[in-house]
Amino acid sequence: MVARVGLGYGGPVSVVQVSVEVDAPPEHVWSVVADPRNLPRWDRHVTGVRGVPPDGLRPGIEYVTEVRLVGVRVHGSANVVELRAPEYAKVRLSGIVEGSVETWLESLDGGGRTHLRHRVDYRFIGGPLGGFVAQAVKALGVTNILRNGTLAQKRQAEEP
């Protein structure tokens, strides 16, 4: 399921939601989706992630993600707001994109499968770079980016 409301550039917040069922238990799916070092594996535009502690995320941790779009490299900060393993996480985004990413995991079929859901609300900051990035993301299709990333998480979690 994918839904999108608007596409903001210094304006209203846009919202994208994606959900998928994963053939793996929630604890395993959590170990995949709660590690931002996997981001380059899920999205080819993510070229690096810095600042993730070796022992994993916890509330208050901030890490930096480097993204390359149409030859332009931008950095964004992500701050872990809430974390309840293995069921919920909320991360606040700042930089060229402001917003939040929420992730829910729900046990299915007695724990052998998982319903994975992401909700991203975002807006691009003003200025020439914000406008450029907003247009690049619009051209790529933000719903496609999130859907493809979620399907990559599913594939990774289902790997033997």
Per-residue pLDDT at 157 exceeds 80: yes
More confident residue, 127 or 71: 71
pLDDT at 134: 64
Per-residue pLDDT at 125 exceeds 80: no
Report the mean per-residue pLDDT for the chain: 87
pLDDT at 4: 42
Per-residue pLDDT tens digits for 16-65: 899 999 999 999 999 999 999 999 999 998 999 999 999 999 999 999 99
Per-residue pLDDT at 5 exceeds 50: no
Tell me, what CATH number does 25's domain have? 3.30.530.20
Q: What is the pTM of this model?
A: 0.86
Domains held by the chain: number = 1
Q: Note down the domain range covering 108.
A: 2-158
Beta bridge partners of 46: 67
